[in-house]
Amino acid sequence: MLTKRIIACLDMDDGRVVKGVQFVNLRDAGDPAECAAAHARDGADEIVLLDITATSDNRRTMLDVVSRTARCLFIPFTVGGGIRELADAEAVFEAGADKIAINSAAVKDSTLIGKIAARFGSQAVVVAIDAKRVSGGLGGFEVFVAGGRTPTGRDAILWAREAAACGAGEIMLTSMDRDGTKAGFDCELTQLVADAVSIPVIASGGAGSARDFIEVFQSGRADAALAASIFHFGLENIGQLKLELRAANVPVRWPC
C-alpha cells in the first residue's frame, strides 16, 4: 500500500539550518548535512532543503552544502531556493539533489517548469506555493513569492492547477498563516488543492502534533506532510509520530 510521507524540511540561511515563525525571527538549529542524516535515521521519508533567503538576497543556492548533504543521504532529497533558470536547476541536480523546488521563478515564468521537466523529468520538479488567506475574491487564498514577502494577486488553487499542467511532478503547499505557529496544517487549503490536481500534494506549515498530521492526511487529503521546527528541536520524534499515525490507520513506512 502506498504510504503517506513524512518530510523533514531544513530551512537554511547562510549555510545553517534555521527556523522562523511566519517566515521571520530565525533561530539556529544546526548543520544541514548532520540534520538531514539524523532525520533519515529517525525515519523521515524524504528531506527538503530550502535556502530560504536565496531569492530575497539575490544569491544562488549554496551548492557545496547541497553536495555535502547529498553524499550519504539515500532517501529522496529536494532542494529549493534561488533557482531562477534551467542552469540553476542543472547545478543543483549536479550537486546531488533528486528534485528541485521552484517558487518565485515559476510564478514569474511558468514555462520554466516545463523546461526543467523536459530535461530531468516531471518527477524532479516540485512547485512550491506559499499561500495566504485573503478576504473577498481570489477563491480565498493568494499566492505570495520571495519568501512570503511579495503578494502576486494570483489565486493559489488556480496556480496549482496551472503548475501541474505545465509539468510539475508535485505541489509543495505552505500555509503562510500557519507556518511556524504549531496550530495545525490548513486542511481546507490542502484539500482544495489536492482535489484540484492529480499530482501529489505536500502539506506544509503549522505542524505541531501527531493529531495535526492525522488530520491533514485524513481530511486534508495530503499525500505527504512536511515539518521543520518540531523535528529540529526534538519536540516530536518521527518514529513516535509514525506509531501514532499507524494507530489512527494512516498508512506509513514502518519499520523505518
Q: Which stretch binds another protein (CB under 8 A): 13-21, 140-148, 198-206, 237-245?
A: 198-206
Active site residue 11: yes
Q: Residues 66-85: x/- map of binding to another protein (CB under 8 A)?
A: ----xxx-xxx---------
Q: Which is nearer to another protein, 52 or 65 (CB)?
A: 65
Per rule CB under 8 A, is residue 114 in the interface with another protein?
no
CB neighbourhood size of 60 (10 A): 16
Give min distance, CB of 198 to another protein, in A: 5
Per rule CB under 8 A, is residue 45 in the interface with another protein?
yes
Per rule CB under 8 A, is residue 256 in the interface with another protein?
yes
Q: Which of 111, 123, 219, 237 binds another protein (CB under 8 A)?
A: 123
Burial label, 42 (beta-carbon count in 10 A; 0-12, 13-18, 19+):
middle
Q: Which is nearer to another protein, 142 or 170 (CB)?
A: 170
Per rule CB under 8 A, is residue 170 in the interface with another protein?
yes
Q: Which is nearer to another protein, 124 or 145 (CB)?
A: 124
Q: Say if strands 150-155 and 224-227 run parallel, antiparallel, or are unpaired.
A: unpaired
- The backbone torsions φ and ψ at residue 46, rounded to the nearest 5 degrees and listed phi first, read -165, 155
Per rule CB under 8 A, is residue 223 in the interface with another protein?
yes
Binding footprint of another protein, residue count (CB under 8 A): 34
Q: Which of 58, 135, 198, 249 binds another protein (CB under 8 A)?
A: 198
CB neighbourhood size of 136 (10 A): 6
Task: Output the CA–CA distances (angstroms, integers) from residue 21 to 6, 40, 58, 75, 185, in the order listed.
Answer: 21, 24, 22, 27, 14
CB neighbourhood size of 150 (10 A): 14
Interacting positions 7-36 with another protein (CB under 8 A): none
**Three-class SS of residue 7?**
strand
C-alpha 91/C-alpha 97 separation (Å) is: 9
* CB contact set of 254 (below 8 Å; sequence gap of 6+): 242, 243, 246
Amino acid at 248: A
Active site residue 130: yes
Which entry of 13, 45, 88, 130 is annotated as an active-site residue?
A: 130
List active site positions.
11, 130
Q: Which residues bind another protein (CB under 8 A)?
A: 1-5, 40, 45, 70-72, 74-76, 93-94, 96-98, 119-124, 169-170, 198-200, 223-224, 253-254, 256
